[in-house]
Structures are given as C-alpha cells and as structure tokens.
Amino acid sequence: MKVAAVGEKTSAYLEQHGLKVDVVPERFIAEELADALLDHVRPGERVFVAKGHLSRDVVKETLIPLGIEVKEWILYETVKDEEGIAALKSAMTKQSFDFITFTSSSTVHSFYACDGSRCCDAGCI
C-alpha cells in the first residue's frame, strides 16, 4: 500500500506512527495532491481518500475520469465552537486586535456564518 499526505507535518506524523509516505505535493492543496498522485497511480488502481466532511472532491474528480477507482471516507466533521464565536464577536466589538489570520477555508465559512449573519464587514486589498 502506498500513502499520500497533503503536507509535511501530516507526513511526519504518519511516519512517526509507522506509515511510509510516498507522495507529498509541493504545495499543500487538493489540486497539487491530485496532480502528484497522477505520477503514482494507474488506471484500474484503487485510491482511498480519508477526509473531513468539508473537504472538496478535487482528488476524486481528477482521478475518476482517468479510470482510477476512488473511494472517499469522511473521518471527521468540522463543528462550530459557539463559545469561540462569542469570544471573537466580543473581541471585535472591543477592537482588541489589529490583525486576524484564517487557517482554513472552514474557518472563513464559520467566521461569516456566525448565527446566520456576518460577524463584520471585511475588505480585500
């Protein structure tokens, strides 16, 4: 069995637990993972994708048309932390920070979904 990981930290964690990682894309996004897999998987082979429920279907959509069987397993769900959202709203009201960093697309979705309304107005430079 060959193993692919989206990032270096995921790869290191897997290897610490005894799984040799064969594929790690240069950039840690689904499109790059799908492209990297193309060099290692052939038509008729089976690829299993372990993912979260918010993950996009890029790997599946890239490989299936090439005759590669893809099975996805959803292993976890991203759940909003209501206390965290309340704390963020409070901090924003008090303007207690100068910079906000988003670590994933699901963080952005949760940020704007705060109880069905936008937490704040945002700008893009």
Per-residue pLDDT band at 122 (split at 50, 70, 90): low
Q: Residue 116: what pLDDT?
A: 41
Q: Residue 41: what pLDDT?
A: 96
Whole-angstrom distance, CA of residue 84 vs CA of residue 90: 10
User: Which two structure tokens, joined as six digits, stand for 22?
Assistant: 């064969």
Q: Residue 115: what pLDDT?
A: 46
Q: Which helix (H) or strand (E) holds 102?
A: none
Q: What is the pLDDT of residues 27-72, one digit of tens each?
A: 988 999 999 999 999 999 999 999 989 889 999 999 999 999 999 9
Q: Residue 96: what pLDDT?
A: 74
Answer for the pair 68, 42: CB distance below 8 angstroms, yes or no.
Answer: yes
pTM over 0.85: no
Other Cβ atoms within 10 Å of 24 Cβ, number: 19
Other Cβ atoms within 10 Å of 36 Cβ, number: 18
Q: Residue 79: what pLDDT?
A: 84
Q: What is the pLDDT of residues 88-112, one digit of tens each?
A: 888 878 877 777 777 777 777 777 7
